[in-house]
Amino acid sequence: MGFISGGPDAHWSYVLAEPEATLQIAREDGGDAFGGLTGFVGPARPNAPDGPPFQGGVAGLAAYELGDRVEPSGLAPLGAWPDLACGRYSRLLAFDHRRGVVFAMGRDDADAARALAWLDRPAPPAGVPKSRLTPDDPDAYERAVATVVAGIRAGDLFQANIARRWRGRLSAGGRPFDLLAALAAASPAPFAAYLRLPDRAVVSNSPERFLQVRPDARGLLARTEPIKGTAPRGATAEADRALAEGLLTSEKDRAENLMIVDLMRNDLARVCIPGEVRTPELFKVATFANVHHLISTVTGRLKPGKSAVDLLRAAFPPGSITGAPKVQAMKTIAALEAPRGPFFGSMFQLGFDGGFDSSVLIRTAAFVEDGDGWSIEARAGAGIVADSDPASERRETEAKISALLAAFSPYS
């Protein structure tokens, strides 16, 4: 698997292969998945100084339905996708884009040399991802939005993120990795990621961090950067600036963002030292290939004895793709959408040093292999509030998924 940072602030990318052990927890397995993850990572060990933030540990996928183990909300699993799928990696390659340096990491010199040898492997031939992705009925999506608006006005909840689905198949001979390469070339995102399982794959071009934990001399620092509020890019520089300014001053988008900031503050407060949860940045406009977003930042310091996995349990699934109150929003989503599986879950890396970083799985395609090749599914959602207009929210999903759809070439 790999984590690939992209965009003007790109710093670290990682390639992980040959896991020394794997962990997969399906819904029928029961038990404490978070406790299983804690035990799986094994004994802590500090990072080597002056190296990459991630120097080995556990990495993988937390599906959206893992959240049903935190707060039962009637979430059914999505077919072949488990609640948790990850590997433990003692060797990896870390690419520092700012300095143009590659680190080969391992438990010892032989382990690191084995990782370094991956660079000598011949690159597979470049391919073009070819598919036609067809959206679900747009009228049905608008009716779902209207249902949520009615529920909000009735006082059932404040906000819910309702997603729309696109489906298709790769052309014969196509590979999921071809999509990752196309996205990285056309619209690189800061939290892009790729996961390959025996008959499944996830390709994500996510712009959104979910949770980050970094050790320092005083313990563990936590950070989350929820995205809420979207505007399309303009056709000209002047139009683009106007759309970004309109997003920044939009009362609807700022209120939508603030609701999720409050939700994430509450999630962090469950495991952070009282008084240490802060919001150092509100309503920052971030610009990507096809959209502008509002991003805010919430930070905290974990209580002594609390770990990154405790924070993951406290905050999962991400508030930006559920809504507020979270449990009621999840129940609303479950009534209106097919099970999400990898969509709106998280790809994460949990270091031997106790550090953690993770994305929200938006701008993501999931692939399942069968006898005829690879089926594809992708989703895009919109945050629905009391004054949402169904047609406008549908258009927002189309703007959000446009870069992913554009990465596919049509069948010839």
The CA distance from 12 to 16, in Å, is: 13
The phi, psi pair for 69, rounded to 5°, reads -80, -15
Neighbouring CB atoms inside 10 A of 376's CB total 24
Q: State the catalytic residues.
A: 208, 228
Nearest to 78 by CA among 92, 67, 89, 93: 67
CA distances to 14, 204, 341, 408 from 5, in Å: 9, 11, 23, 21
Burial 50-85 (b: 16+ CB within 10 A, else e): eebbbbbbbbbbbbbbbbbbbeebebebbeebbbbb
CB 20 within 8 A of CB 88: yes
Helix, coil or strand: residue 209: strand
Q: Which residue has the tokens 């056309």?
A: 186
Distance CA 169, CA 99 (A): 39
Tokens 């809504």 — which residue? Answer: 323
* Helix (H) or strand (E) run with residue 101 in it: strand 101-105
What does each C-alpha distance from 192 to 5, 175, 336, 403 come to in angstroms?
6, 17, 28, 13
User: Token digits for 238?
Assistant: 């002047």
Q: Is 120 exposed, middle or buried (0-12, 13-18, 19+ CB in 10 A)?
A: exposed
In one-letter notation, the amino acid at residue 29 is D
- Amino acid symbol at 277: V
List, as own/partner pairs, every contact residues 269-275 make where C-beta atoms lie below 8 angstroms and the sequence separation is at least 24, other chains included: 269/300, 270/314, 270/315, 271/222, 271/302, 271/303, 271/306, 271/310, 271/311, 271/314, 272/222, 272/300, 272/301, 272/302, 272/303, 272/306, 273/300, 273/301, 273/302, 273/303
